[in-house]
Structure 1
Amino acid sequence: MELRWLEAFVVVAEELHFGNAAARLRVAQSPLSQTIRKLERTLGAELFHRSTRSVELTAAGHALLPHAREVLEQADIARRAVRASEGDIYGSLSIGFSGVLNHSSLPPLTRAVKQRYPALKLHLVGRIMTQEALHQLDSGQLDIAFVGLPVDERRVHARQLMLEPMGMVVPLDHPLAQAEHVRLEDFAQDQFITPPLGSGSNLNEVTMQACSAAGFYPKVAQEITDPYMILMLVAAGVGVAHMAEGLAAMVPPGAVFKHLDGEPVNMKHGLAWSKKPGSAARDAVLRLADELWPLSRANEVG
C-alpha cells in the first residue's frame, strides 16, 4: 500500500466524483481509477459503489476514511519534521477551556500561536471544567488547559494568568438592580444559580467560599454548568449569580452586572499542564504565554 493510493482514496471520498477528484489531484481520470482498484485489491474490499450517475462509499470505505486521513496527517508531520530547521515548531496541540469564562484569555493565546507557529495545529476542546481538565491532562488527552486556580499541585504544573474580580448578576426587576452600592451579604436571602457542586467548576468553589466569608450559605435555585446559560436564567428571573467581572459585557437583556463593595473576591485564571515530559510544541506555547502574561511565571505553582 502506498501513501499516494491513500491520498487518492481520500480525495475521491471527499469529492464522490472521479472526474472532480482527478482534477483536484491533477491526474487523468483513468489512472486515478486504476489507483483506487489497486488499493481495493490490496485491502480485499470494495471502497466505492460506482454507477454511471453516482459514487458512494461502501461500509469498508467509511471504515477506512478516518484511518487514511490519520496516516496522511502523520506522514505530513514526518515530512515537515525532516525538513524543519532547528527551532521550528510543528505538529498538533490540544487545549482545553471552559467556554465563556475564558473569553479574555483563550483568543489572545490562539491568535499568537497562529502568528508565531503557523505549522502548529491547535485542537480546541470546549466546556472542560477544571477537575475534568486535570483528568485529561493526566491521561494525555489534553496538552494544556485553561483552569481556575488553585489546583492540586501534586498532579500538574499551573501558572496564574490573571485575577478577575467577582460581582453579582441580577434581574432588572431585582430590588438592588439600580442600587449604587451593594455587598455580597445583601444577597443572603436570594436564590442563587450556580454550577453543580460536583461538576469540578472553580466558579462554584469561589462562590461558596465568598458567601461563607460574607456570613451565609447561598440558597441554590438551580444548578447548571454553562456560565452563559446561568446568565440567561438570571435574565429570566430565576435567581441571581456570582460571576466574574469580565462577563459584564455579555449579560443578556433582562439582567445587570453589579460590582461589589467590600473585600474583593477574585477568580484566578490559569494554565495547567501535566508534570510528565511534553512536546516541544507544548513548551513553545507555554513560553508564548509568558510573553502574553509576563507576571505568569512569578505565579507558577507545582
Structure 2
Amino acid sequence: MDLQQLRAFLAVADELHFGRAAERLHMAQPPISRGIQQLERELGARLFERSTRKVTLTSVGEALIAPAQEVLDALDRVSRVARAAGTGEIGHVRLAYAGASSNVMVGQLARAVNQNHPGIHLELLSQHFAQPAMQLLTRGDIDIALGRWDHIPAIVRTRVIAIEELVIAVPETHRLADADAVSIAQFEGEPFVSLQPQTGTLLLERLRQMSRAAGFNADVVQHAPDSWTLMSLVSAEIGCSLTLSSVIDSIADPHLRFLRLTDDAPPVELRMAWLRDSDDRALHAVLRLSESVLPTPQT
C-alpha cells in the first residue's frame, strides 16, 4: 500500500467516477484503475462495485475513507513541520491570559498558529490576570501576556489588539435591567462584586475612580477569582459589577443584563505584551501572525 493508492482511492470515493478522479489528480485513468485494483488485492476486499453505468462504494470502501484521510493528513502535518523546522519556525511559545474576556481571541490565535506554524507549540496558560501576567513576563517565565495595563515596564513591548468599553452587569431582576444606558451615579448605595484585588485588575481601580467622581465610594461586598465566577455572583443577585464589553460574548447566562455606561470613561485597551529584547524565532513568528489574526483596531 502506498500514498498514491490512497490518494487515488479517496478521489474515486469522492467522485464515484474513475475518469473524473483521474482528471482531479492530473493522471491518466489506467494508472488510477490499476492502483485501486492493487489496493484491493493487498486488502483482500473489494472497495468499489463497478458497472457500466455507475461506481459505488462497498461497506469496506466506506470504512476505509476516514483512516485513509487520516494518513494523508498526518503526512501533510509532517511535511509542514519539516518546512517549519527548515526556516527556524519551530519551538515552544507560552501565552498567559485572564479568561472570559479574551478566550475568544486566544482561540483564534491558537487555531491560526496550528494551521500556519505546526512546528510551534503554543502553550495557553489561563487565569493569569494583568499584573501577575506582567510579572511572569518580566521574569521570563512566559513569552506573551495578554492584559490591560496603565503602566508598561521599559523592557516590554506591547501592541493593542482590542479596544473595549466598560459596562455594568446586573441581574435580570435589577430595577435598571431594562434601561438602554445608565450612569455610575445611579448605583450609589448598591452592593458591587469585583475581581480579587491581588489580581491587579484594572476594573476595580476604574470602579473606585468612577464612583468617587460620582460622589460616593462603591461598596464591594464580595470578590471573585475570575470573570465566570464574578458573573455568577451577579446572576445570583449578590451585587452589580463593572466589567468589559468583551465579556458579553463569553458569558451565556439569560439572567444577566449588560448596561452601557453614559459616563465619560476612557475605553480599555487589551494589549499583547512581550519582552523587547527577545530574539526567539518562534515567538516572532507568532507575533507576526497575530498582526493579521488580531489586528490593531482602527481608532
Judge conservation of contact 2:109–2:294 (CA < 8 Å) in 1: no
AA in 2 matched with 1:288: L
DSSP-derived class of the 2:173 partner:
coil
1:114-263 matches, cutoff 5 A: 114-249=114-249, 250-263=251-264
Report SS of the residue matched to 2:257: strand
TM-score w.r.t. the length of structure 2 is 0.66
Structure 2 residue aligned with 1:292: 293
Return the letter of the residue paired with 1:140.
G
- Whether the aligned pair in 2 keeps the contact of 1:150 and 1:268 (CA below 8 Å) is no
SS in structure 1 at match of 2:234: helix
Counterpart mapping for 1:41-120 below 5 A: 84-85=85-86, 87-120=87-120
Taking the aligned partners of 1:264 and 1:117, their CA distance within structure 2 comes to: 40
For residues 247 and 170 of structure 2, the distance between their equivalents in structure 1, rounded to whole angstroms, comes to 13
Task: Work out the CA distance in 2 between the residues paired with 1:119 and 1:194.
Answer: 40
| 1:132-172 per-position Cα deviation (integer Å, ceiling 9, x unaligned) | 11111122210001111323232421111111111111112
| 1:13 paired residue number | none
Is the contact between residue 88 and residue 282 of structure 2 (CA under 8 Å) also seen in structure 1? no
Distance 1:154 1:178, change over 3 A: same
Change (3 A) 1:105 1:213: farther
Q: Partner of 1:291: helix, strand, or coil?
A: helix
Q: Counterpart of 2:158 in 1: which secondary structure? A: strand
Q: CA deviation at 1:261?
A: 2.1
* Contact in 1 for aligned 2:84/2:118 (Cα 8 Å): no
Secondary structure, in 3 states, of the residue corresponding to 1:84?
helix
Larger Rg: 2
Matched, 1:270 2:266: no
What one-letter code is carried by the residue in structure 1 that aligns with 2:102?
Answer: N
Per-residue deviation, residues 171-209 of structure 1 (Å, max 9, x unmatched): 122111122331122112211101122322223233333
The letter for the 1-side match of 2:112 is A
Q: Which amino acid aligns with 1:257?
A: F
Checking the alignment, whether the CA contact within 8 Å between 1:91 and 1:281 is kept in structure 2 is yes
**1:283 aligns to what?**
284
**CA–CA separation in structure 1 for the residues paired with 2:195 and 2:296:** 29
For structure 2, the residue ranges without an aligned partner over 5 or more in a row are: 1-80
Separation (CA, whole Å) in 2 of partners of 1:215 and 1:288: 46
Could you say which residue in structure 1 is the equivalent of 2:32?
A: none
Tell me the TM-score normalized by structure 1. 0.66
Q: Give the conservation status (yes or no) of the 8 Å contact 1:171–1:234.
A: yes
Report the CA distance between 1:81 and its aligned residue.
Answer: 8.4
SS in 2 for 1:234: helix
**Alpha carbons 1:206, 1:267 under 8 Å: kept:** no
Question: How many residues of Structure 1 are paired with residues of Structure 2 in the alignment?
Answer: 218
- The Cα of 1:293 is off from its aligned counterpart by 3.7
Farther-moved stretch of structure 1 (182-191 vs 91-100): 182-191
Q: Contact (CA 8 Å) 2:165, 2:268: kept in 1 or not?
A: yes
1:199-224 deviations in whole A, cap 9, x for unaligned? 22223233333333434321101011
Structure 1: runs of 5+ lacking an equivalent: 1-79
1:116 & 1:213 partners in 2: Cα distance? 48
Q: CA, structure 1 residues 172+92, in 2 after alignment: closer, same or farther (shift >3 Å)?
A: same
